[in-house]
Amino acid sequence: MAGPCVVESEEMVLRIAERVIKICDGLEIPYIFKASYRKANRTRLDSFSGIGDDNALKILGKVKSTFNVPIVTDIHDASEAAMAAEYADVLQIPAFLCRQTDILVAAAQTGKVVNVKKGQFLSPEAMQFAVDKIRQSGNEQVALTDRGTTFGYHDLIVDYRGIPTMKAMGVPVILDCTHSLQQPNQTSGVTGGNPAMIETIARAGIAVGADGLFIETHPDPAHAKSDGANMLHLDHLESLLGKLVQIRQVINSF
């Protein structure tokens, strides 16, 4: 799963999608295009949150129809599930909302794949209850994504023991190797990050058996309208994925 944090414009989204699809096709990596149609969780009121739900979702629909690629996007409220499901193949539940029963149930009832991000405040074991809510709502298509655990006030840390723990729940487990490097609660009200460590996080995730990766990428992270501080520059994606494919091949040989 890779793409920009949020839909900024049609031109930008199509540009990123085309580039990532070409890279993944060359490396024979299954790919799901990622972009949020709206960012509901922003620190400051003046932070960019989107170009309008309808416009953004239609752009995601254009990505899907143009490139024949599946789409993953976040929902932030139970009322958004059906709307987003018209365009997305995977509905993603943000980490801060992973315990919200109504959102999980609404997402499950669309029949789409539901990808739940593990809350920064939860143990891996606690994610069993999110999985149960979705399954008990009649949907077996569940994935979990680890995006780090709160470490003090301004940092996150990845506990790689969580990946096999959550895989034991019988679901695919994805590692978000960009949000795991966020540095939240900055005095400026703009979340920081440490993108120089993306490759380290991703390598370790593949080595311990993550089923997939979630990567936010952008051709100009410094001017991205959301989460630019922890994004991977688009120019670095092919090299990173090439290395990870080699690591996966070694792991699969055992």
Is the domain covering 2-252 a CATH 3.20.20.70 domain? Answer: yes
CA angle, residues 192, 213, 248, in degrees to nearest 5 = 130
Q: How far apart are CA 233 and CA 218, in angstroms?
A: 5
Q: How far apart are CA 92 and CA 176, in angstroms?
A: 12
Q: What stretches of the chain show up as alpha helix (H) in DSSP?
A: 10-27, 53-67, 81-85, 101-109, 127-136, 162-167, 198-207, 237-252
Q: CA torsion angle for 197, 156, 202, 76 (degrees, to 10)?
A: -120
* Tens digits of residue pLDDT in 97-123: 999 999 999 999 999 999 999 999 999
Instruction: Give the residue carrying structure tokens 């080595």.
Output: 207
Q: What is the mean pLDDT of residues 40-69?
A: 93
* Tens digits of residue pLDDT in 126-155: 999 999 999 999 999 999 999 999 999 989
Q: What is the mean pLDDT of residues 25-40?
A: 96
Asked if the model's pLDDT at residue 27 lies above 70, the reply is yes
% of the chain beyond a pLDDT of 90:
86
